[in-house]
Structure 1
């Protein structure tokens, strides 16, 4: 089944962390971490809807100004997420600039910023260009079961990890993949058409069998009628959707390992930092990062299908193959 989520490390395995994920067939994208995004085209930046920042160290948050510069003047809403204190950090970024001419801008750029505390309590604040990015409190809440965003086409979960400061890990998951059986449609005398999107959505939302689905041969057709969902279930098969994990800048502790494994369990793809080589475990411990061996072990314990290490320290410049091999060896269960 063709995956709908297509991830790309903007700066490779050694540059600033920034994982861009496009949604197939839709002009939408999300971003995990906001390091240097200079190489990301304005067209791709304009597709962003959600940006998830693990923490505000400069290599994870440096790209905010580029994001702002590309989007100012457009009618656009960006949902930003980060750990405790994130709302104030965004506010300070925005207030570093003078906005006395905002009445001349054609669009009202809006940032809706949610910070997640260690207790999973949340605070959300809105910043709008037309009000010179004054802070407007939206409210407080609490994340249920770690689910931060629930969208019809994906959901994003989070866990609060430790890097001598709270640091968020993330997992994005498609709700399901669908395969439409055209022969079964034909057997029921039903057409292929846009109405199948409504059928898929009804299944995703766990509607009951008596839920009416509108059948329409085309967008402009007047020959429309309803059928109950229960009569239509056999025309499609459902398989679990793709799951992608993203974890970076975490200390190798028992609590972190447990939380990461729970967050990314059975992921199809795990992007995980491997900042230091296996032999440099003392340095990794001192700087609260993972080694290549720890990254591979965590991926193995979580039962992920594929591991993609990144965020290699600059001290290993030109040694990407060695670092990857150490991760793969630990992931395969090979011991020293």
Structure 2
């Protein structure tokens, strides 16, 4: 299966947290946490459609200003999600600047901020450039089973963790994925192309086998078409497989409650990005600072059945011991005992 999501940490393990998830088949990306994003090119920043902020400690939110600066003057709607109080914090950040010249802009960059609450409710407000980023008015709602974004091909779940303050962990889950077998297409004399996107959509929607699917492609100076039944294509060239799952966990106190929430959220993840702030011999210090140790991160990844654990958010005190942190995570993750 060709992966749809391409996740990568924006910074090194000792620097600000931010996970950039590029989409293979769309000109868009998601961002988890908003620390320093200067390593991202403007082109990459402008691909971002949604940002999921764990909490607003400065190392997780300092990138907001650069984000706004790059998007200003563009016709773009940017969605941000965060913990309780987040909408007000976004509003205050925007209110810290003077916007007297933006009313004449030909574009209307809009920030849509949503804050999540432990009881399953959420609050949303919008801030438009042409209205000098004044809040437009709160809207309230409820999310079910932690799902905070649900699109055709994927969803994002959130879970609350304790970091002395409410802190969010996230899971990006691709819905069932249709894998097209190119060798079977070749046997049928069919090309790849945009028509396959409609085929995949019809299969995932569970449409009837008798539905007609038309493949259209350019050949020489003209166009060719061929129509087959959805059922024939479903049987001969397509295979439905489980989609990818990417989990992101940071700034969590080493408590049993947090551990259970992390394991539930990250269950079966293909990629688990998880903080490893302290080595385990400093477990007491980790508890005081409300962070995970490397050993705990590895154990949680193993309990969750993650295929791969990617550690980040190391304490700067380990700059000369990076391999020790990575080794402790790996040993706990791979422990068969």
TM-score, structure 1 as length reference: 0.92
| Whole-Å separation in 2 of the counterparts to 1:140 and 1:208 | 38
State which of 269, 272, 290 in structure 2 corresponds to 1:270. 272
Deviation at 1:123, TM superposition (A): 1.1
Matching of residues 1-336 of structure 1 within 5 Å: 1-137=1-137, 139-182=139-182, 184-185=184-185, 192-217=192-217, 228-234=229-235, 235-333=237-335
Deviation at 1:213, TM superposition (A): 3.6
SS of residue in 1 equivalent to 2:314: coil
Gaps of 5+ in 2: none
| Whole-Å separation in 1 of the counterparts to 2:222 and 2:249 | 48
Deviation at 1:172, TM superposition (A): 1.0
Instruction: Give per-residue Cα distances to partners, 1:69-113, cap 9 Å, x unaligned.
Output: 111111111110001110000000000111111123232111111
SS of residue in 2 equivalent to 1:329: helix
Instruction: Give per-residue Cα distances to partners, 1:173-230, cap 9 Å, x unaligned.
Output: 2224433234544666655432111011122333344555444345998866765533
Instruction: Give per-residue Cα distances to partners, 1:16-44, cap 9 Å, x unaligned.
Output: 10111111132211110000112211111
Deviation at 1:290, TM superposition (A): 0.4
| Whole-Å separation in 1 of the counterparts to 2:126 and 2:227 | 41
| Whole-Å separation in 2 of the counterparts to 1:208 and 1:251 | 50
| Whole-Å separation in 1 of the counterparts to 2:168 and 2:292 | 15
SS of residue in 2 equivalent to 1:261: helix
Deviation at 1:308, TM superposition (A): 0.7
Deviation at 1:2, TM superposition (A): 2.7
Gaps of 5+ in 1: none
| Whole-Å separation in 2 of the counterparts to 1:213 and 1:96 | 54
- The two structures, once aligned, show a CA RMSD in angstroms of 2.2
| Whole-Å separation in 2 of the counterparts to 1:307 and 1:183 | 34
SS of residue in 1 equivalent to 2:140: strand
8 Å contact kept, 1:199–1:213? yes
8 Å contact kept, 1:84–1:115? yes
TM-score, structure 2 as length reference: 0.92
Distance 1:280 1:66, change over 3 A: same
| Whole-Å separation in 1 of the counterparts to 2:311 and 2:15 | 12
Deviation at 1:276, TM superposition (A): 0.8
SS of residue in 2 equivalent to 1:159: strand
| Whole-Å separation in 2 of the counterparts to 1:10 and 1:334 | 32
